[in-house]
């Protein structure tokens, strides 16, 4: 296939992926940024990454649906991402929000009507939501069919594991559970993720391969071994996401999203399993209509 001449902002390369994705393929983790929205105190910002920029990435990768994730930069001000969700279209896109611990019931209902399907707890950053808020909020969002999405480093994950196992709603772990390297599948963090998976209510995002990898690009082989082990353990609760615009990576060292997508062929060699990860699992968790 020919290279697409126009590069996608905050994504290296211009070639499309080698992997042909199925109809309804879903990016379950991306953000937008806009300098007109101020950052929350103590959180990093990112240069503008707009809906228009993301549409270029969507076209390059052949993706049909997506999930906006409220980044720590905006705290509990979900307005930018709600606007992006409206612009992208609620038929094909959903959102995970950040709320205050005592969020009113009416606000939760309004967010649900707008297309929000979960609350994010980024326990790696300073923020209003902490581990002690997980159970009270999980009880409130479970009747809506929402989930709690958690980003946590190994020590935090291990400390919170009993709490996470007790949630009355589905749990989604960001970025392969942040399993550290070089230990990978031999680490206590991986074992904790496996126990949560084995209990049957936890989902994992196969995103951010570069976050913990020591072996590095383009193959991220060490992170890939973790991803492949997770797919073998619970293919019915794996999700895939770009993490575009890759806010943890330097602006001059962004990964190639087509290469990241192609890695899924290594982690899930069977086309039927890849369809589960890219289409069927997101449909179940986020309530997408069947692809048509």
Catalytic residues: 243
- Rounded Cα distance between 154 and 245, Å, is 24
Peptide bond into 235 cis (omega under 30): no
Question: Residue 265: which of 58, 15, 19 has the closest Cα?
Answer: 19
| CB neighbour burial string for 146-164, b if at least 16 within 10 angstroms, e if fewer | bbbbbbbebebbeebbeeb
In three-state secondary structure terms, 118 is strand
Q: How far is CA 94 from CA 66, 122, 260, 284, in A?
A: 7, 18, 22, 12
């Amino acid at each position: 296939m020919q290279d697409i001449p126009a590069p996608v902002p905050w994504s290296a390369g211009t070639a499309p992926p080698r992997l042909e994705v199925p109809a309804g393929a879903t990016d379950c983790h991306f953000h937008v940024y806009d300098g007109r929205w101020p950052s929350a105190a103590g959180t990093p910002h990112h240069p503008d990454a707009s809906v228009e920029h993301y549409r270029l990435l969507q076209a390059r990768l052949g993706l049909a649906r997506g999930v906006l994730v409220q980044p720590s930069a905006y705290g509990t001000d979900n307005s930018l991402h709600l606007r992006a969700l409206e612009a992208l279209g609620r038929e094909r896109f959903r959102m995970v929000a950040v709320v205050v611990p005592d969020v009113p019931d009416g606000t939760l209902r309004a967010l649900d009507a707008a297309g929000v399907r979960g609350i994010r707890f980024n326990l790696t950053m300073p923020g209003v939501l902490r581990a002690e808020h997980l159970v009270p909020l999980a009880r409130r969002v479970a009747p809506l069919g929402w989930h709690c999405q958690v980003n946590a480093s190994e020590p935090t994950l291990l400390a919170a594991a009993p709490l996470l196992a007790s949630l009355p709603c589905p749990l989604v772990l960001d970025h392969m559970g942040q399993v550290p390297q070089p230990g990978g599948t031999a680490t206590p963090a991986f074992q904790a993720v496996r126990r949560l998976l084995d209990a049957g209510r936890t989902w994992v995002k196969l995103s951010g391969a570069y976050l913990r990898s020591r072996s590095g690009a383009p193959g991220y082989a060490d992170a890939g071994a973790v991803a492949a082990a997770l797919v073998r353990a619970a293919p019915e609760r794996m999700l895939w996401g770009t993490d575009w615009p890759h806010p943890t990576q330097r602006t001059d060292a962004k990964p190639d999203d087509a290469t990241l997508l192609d890695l899924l062929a290594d982690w899930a060699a069977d086309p039927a399993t890849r369809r589960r990860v890219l289409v069927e699992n997101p449909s179940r968790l986020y309530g997408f209509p069947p692809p048509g």
